[in-house]
Amino acid sequence: MRKIGILLLISLVALASVFAGGAQESSTAQPASTEPASKYGGVLRVAQATLDYSETIGLPFMTTGTETETVFTALYDKLWTRGADGKIKLMLAESYTVSDDGLEYTFTLKKGIKFHDGSDLTAEVVAWNYNQAIAHKMFSGVSKAEAVDESTVKVVLSKPNPFFLMANSAKCGWCITSKANYDKNGEDYARRNPVGTGPFKFVSMETGKKVVLAKNENYWAVDTDGSKLPYLDGLEVSAISDPTVAAAALDNNEIEVYSGTLNKLIENLEVYGIEKFNVEKGAVPTKAQGIRFMANNRNAKLLADERLRKAIAYAIDGQAIAAAIKDGTVQYTTQVALKGAADYVNDAVVYDYNPEKAKALLKEAGYPDGFEIEINIDQTAESKRFAELYQYYLGQVGIKVKIMAYANTERNAIQDRDDTWDQLLVSGTGIVGESTNVWANCGPERKKWRNMQPFDTEPEWEALWYKVADAKSEAEGYKALQDYFRYAYDHCCIYLFMHYFADCKYSTKNVNLQLDKSGIRWLDSSIAYFTAK
């Protein structure tokens, strides 16, 4: 017994030495100097729910994600992106032209830009990147890219697309990586050792869990005062899937910013004894959420009737829903596009909350006691949350909702099981302002490879869809898009009740961060900096 006791005691001492082995790791973040004017310095540690695409971090031309991926925006630049105002902003390109037939986009590159490995950014490298992406089927509607000369690259489309720049402004596949790194070290090495032209260069990575980046001392961009960028010395991005753990990590000073939805946790923070954190409000939303009645299917039993669709619109109090979500992460709207964007419809009809009107319309349509309908959602918590709120409001006017959650691939199959499909689809669009995506998905010509039935839309709306498809220029395209969505909103083919910030920024109470409020890149690491306490 004595020996057992001694053994246990030794074990406890060993354990204690591990615990006591140094105080808690000191924060590697070093806020800027005490002089208020200095923005330089510090390592920003960010956590987000997942680190998608870290497995192809070195090969953006094999990455299907969008540029909301923090690591990609830190490592790489693209020829163009979308600015905070929702408009196209040139990055590595200084100008571009479009051919008269809309098939060729010719970009002139900025001079003197180098990759992290010292190799030059040239048209040949850009063309190689794009052709790799085309070969890996990352782009659609793009035939090839070719270097016209040292600093001019031409992208050739297979068919005209007035929204080509906007639709591709957020895709990781357009990020430019170093050809020299790939050629010298091979694909396997390049996959795990990314080399870009971005504000930060690669240091190390644990796939799917953490990426460590250091400042690119030779970054080409400067701020509005002409000072060098980035301000930060480094960036660490890690994945923390559990919001409780994230809150603990914030409180324990292991990270400065968490990007994710902590709203439920915030209400329970007192239970955990963790103080509230700063919530970044007023940022441009990154997702739109609402009900989409997909494509106005004329053969649907219920929802082919515009009166019933309008009844649904009147029944839901979008403003109350937005206000009820306490963390301030949601703003009420009725359109996919951001106000002020090229595809925003200024004169669209707005169906404000009016349950009496909803009931009147139901009665007029022959459903005085309401009807039963399914809401089809994906398996995210956000969709479920919104669907339950819609279910409540619709229930108040007699519309009984059954919420069905499916995996994404299953949803496609269910949507197409027959052309009498009568469902409401609760879903979000990935990037706010990508109404071209919604337009494509609602179209009469569904992509046949998914074995989808083409929707039988109302002739008038169908004609408007084709006007967008046939547009020759960007201006013509956006005009047609506005008309298309005006019809959709006026006739309740699509409802949208709010924009929300899929990624909310929670920062520790003693650090304030200046973050870019772009809807594309919630964290523009090139301009982020610490401010004094």
Partner 1 sequence: MLRYILSKLGQSLVVILLVSIIIFSIIEILPGDISATIIPEDATEAEAEAIREELGLNDSAPERYFKWLFGALHGDMGISLKTREQVAEKVMHALGITLSFTIPALLIGTLIGILLGIAASLNRGRFVDNFVSFIANVGNAAPGFWIAIMLILLFSVKLKWLPVQGYTPFFANPAKAMRQMVLPVLVLMLPTIAAITRQTRSSMLETLNQEYVRTARSKGQKESVVIFKHVLKNALTPILTMLGLRLNICFAGAMISESIFGIPGMGTVMIQSILNQDANVMLGGAVTMSIAIVLITFIIDILYGVVDPRIRVAR
Provide the binding-site residues for partner 1, judged by CB under 8 A.
1, 3-4, 7-8, 11, 15, 18-25, 50, 55-56, 62, 64, 136-141, 167, 191, 206-210, 238-242, 244-245, 248-249, 251-252, 254, 272-274, 406-413, 437, 440-441, 447-451
Query: What's the closest the beta carbon of residue 253 comes to partner 1, in angstroms?
Result: 9
Residue 256: both structure tokens together: 């400065």
Query: What's the closest the beta carbon of residue 40 comes to partner 1, in angstroms?
Result: 27
Query: What's the closest the beta carbon of residue 166 comes to partner 1, in angstroms?
Result: 13
Asked if 469 contacts 162 with a C-beta cutoff of 8 angstroms, the reply is no
CA atoms within 13 A of residue 181's CA, in its CB half-sphere: 25
In angstroms, the first-to-last Cα distance of the chain is 57
Query: What's the closest the beta carbon of residue 4 comes to partner 1, in angstroms?
Result: 5
d(CA 142, CA 140) in angstroms, rounded, equals: 5
Q: Is 188 helix (H, G, I), strand (E, B) or coil?
A: helix
Asked if 434 contacts 343 with a C-beta cutoff of 8 angstroms, the reply is no
Report DSSP letters for 93-128, one per residue.
EEEEEE-TTS-EEEEEEPSS-B-TTSPBP-HHHHHH
| Cis peptide bond prior to 454, omega within 30° of 0 | no
- For partner 1, give the closer residue by CB, 20 or 37: 20
Query: What's the closest the beta carbon of residue 224 comes to partner 1, in angstroms?
Result: 36
- For partner 1, give the closer residue by CB, 303 or 480: 480
Asked if 213 contacts 235 with a C-beta cutoff of 8 angstroms, the reply is yes
Query: What's the closest the beta carbon of residue 358 comes to partner 1, in angstroms?
Result: 34
Report DSSP letters for 50-104, one per residue.
--TTGGGTT-GGG---BTT-HHHHHH---SEEE-TTSSEEESSEEEEEE-TTS-E
Asked if 82 contacts 169 with a C-beta cutoff of 8 angstroms, the reply is yes
d(CA 69, CA 88) in angstroms, rounded, equals: 19
Asked if 164 contacts 157 with a C-beta cutoff of 8 angstroms, the reply is yes
Asked if 251 contacts 275 with a C-beta cutoff of 8 angstroms, the reply is yes
- For partner 1, give the closer residue by CB, 50 or 473: 50
- For partner 1, give the closer residue by CB, 69 or 516: 69
Query: What's the closest the beta carbon of residue 426 comes to partner 1, in angstroms?
Result: 18
- For partner 1, give the closer residue by CB, 149 or 187: 187
Residue 407: both structure tokens together: 């995996």
- For partner 1, give the closer residue by CB, 246 or 494: 246
Query: What's the closest the beta carbon of residue 242 comes to partner 1, in angstroms?
Result: 5
- For partner 1, give the closer residue by CB, 15 or 350: 15
- For partner 1, give the closer residue by CB, 147 or 167: 167
- For partner 1, give the closer residue by CB, 152 or 427: 427
Query: What's the closest the beta carbon of residue 245 comes to partner 1, in angstroms?
Result: 6
